[in-house]
Amino acid sequence: MADKTATLTIEGTAHELPILTPTAGPDVVDIRKLYAEADVFTYDPGFTSTAACDSTITFIDGDAGVLLHRGYPIEQLAAKSHFLEVCYLLLNGELPSAAELEAFETMVTRHTMIHEQMHNFFRGFRRDAHPMATMVGVVGAMSAFYHDSLDIHDTRQREVAAFRLVAKMPTIAAMAYKYSVGQPFVYPRNDLDYASNFLHMCFAVPAEPYAVNPTVARAMDRILMLHADHEQNASTSTVRLASSSGANPFACIAAGIACLWGPAHGGANQAALEMLRQIGTPDRIPEFIAKTKDKSSGIRLMGFGHRVYKNFDPRATVMKQSADEVLDLLGVHDNPLLQVAKELERIALQDDYFISKKLYPNVDFYSGIILEAMGFPTSMFTPIFAVARTVGWISQWKEQLADPQLKIGRPRQLYLGPTQRDYVEIESR
């Protein structure tokens, strides 16, 4: 029983509601029995004030700009760790020992290939299909090939499914890219680390050797790490909702990918790059900024600000460092698009209007710049996000299935339609 309670008075009747206290973050009013006791629902479009679950995976303090994975600050993980270690942390709750990490990396590395028959799925899509469309279909179809990891009630099968998804998602994303540009698929290599292997599968061709630059690989690893999990966002909540019905893991992750596809979510970095293309050259920035200040223009500053982080995005600080490193390495400072990005960042950070609105460059702004410099088309930005977020989805999925309080998700509504009326025969209408 909670030590604290809140009293809600409805038409003169008082209802005591327990207040649950988290290890961090605001208290939570427990309304689970409100409908049964008071015959009322709560109204919260977008669920922005609703805790739909309890979790031990990720904590965000939007006001303070804090992001913790299992208690570890994202800044420390980005500086000292790498993506697969963060994967282990998210999946298992603790940082691995050296032996545990080696075993985990070996397991993931040796499961990166996909069933050869799955190659036929790609050939069924048009070449100009968006890679996300391809990924939704192929990931959902994994349930047709991996029958030994579909039983969600079997702990071992859940572990196998987790490994398969983390290991195979980069392969599927890279194949979707290769198919879209008309190039042959490149098989994964066990001698490369996770990020390097992904870059190799995307950019290698049979005609010549391809060597992954360590700085570029490190930047890709950071992109993956910084997008690994972000608490109960739209796609994660979608995965949890799909999972609550008992759906198999591959169907749940396909649902997450479909939700991530939206431009307001996973497509934010693509939208930021498209905005930069719209601006065109640095001299047009003042005109563009003036339009963003005019609400009637319908023009928004993409890649700035965040729904949760109110002062700064802790991931953006790390991503900016990688952006500077990659741009310096690749010598793309003469690229007009990237010139626009740098100048827009400088102006926006000094403009009183954007400062007052707390519109600072977020992780999507910098990740888009890096991916553009690496040579990825904007259509691949969201698939790369999906590769990164898979481990977060799977961690949340595993946690939910282990929850003894698990029940199928069933939001309610404020009904504003017509009340009961009688059917009118067509001759009388």
361 pairs with which residues across the strands?
304
Burial code (b: 16+ CB inside 10 Å, e: under 16) for 258-283 equals bbbbeeebbbbbbbbbebbeebeebe
Distance CA 302, CA 367 (A): 13
Known catalytic residue: 364? Answer: yes
Which residue out of 193, 221, 313, 364 is catalytically annotated?
Answer: 364
CA distances from 260 to 151, 272, 380, 406 (A): 25, 16, 13, 24
Known catalytic residue: 147? Answer: no
Using a 10 angstrom Cβ sphere, with 0-12 exposed, 13-18 middle and 19 or more buried, the burial of residue 114 is buried
**What number of helices (H) and strands (E) belong to the chain?**
18, 6
Distance CA 171, CA 108 (A): 12
DSSP letters, 278-304, are: HH-SGGGHHHHHHHHH-GGG----TTB
Angle at which helix 214-226 crosses helix 194-203, to 10 degrees, equals: 110
Task: Reduce the DSSP state of residue 115 to 3 states and report it.
Answer: coil
Which element (helix H / strand E) includes 98?
A: helix 98-109
Which residue out of 306, 328, 333, 422 is catalytically annotated?
Answer: 306
Distance CA 429, CA 426 (A): 5
Angle at which helix 268-279 crosses helix 336-350, to 10 degrees, equals: 100
The residue count of the chain comes to 429
Distance CA 115, CA 89 (A): 28
Contact 101, 84 (CB under 8 A): yes
Return the active site residues. 306, 364
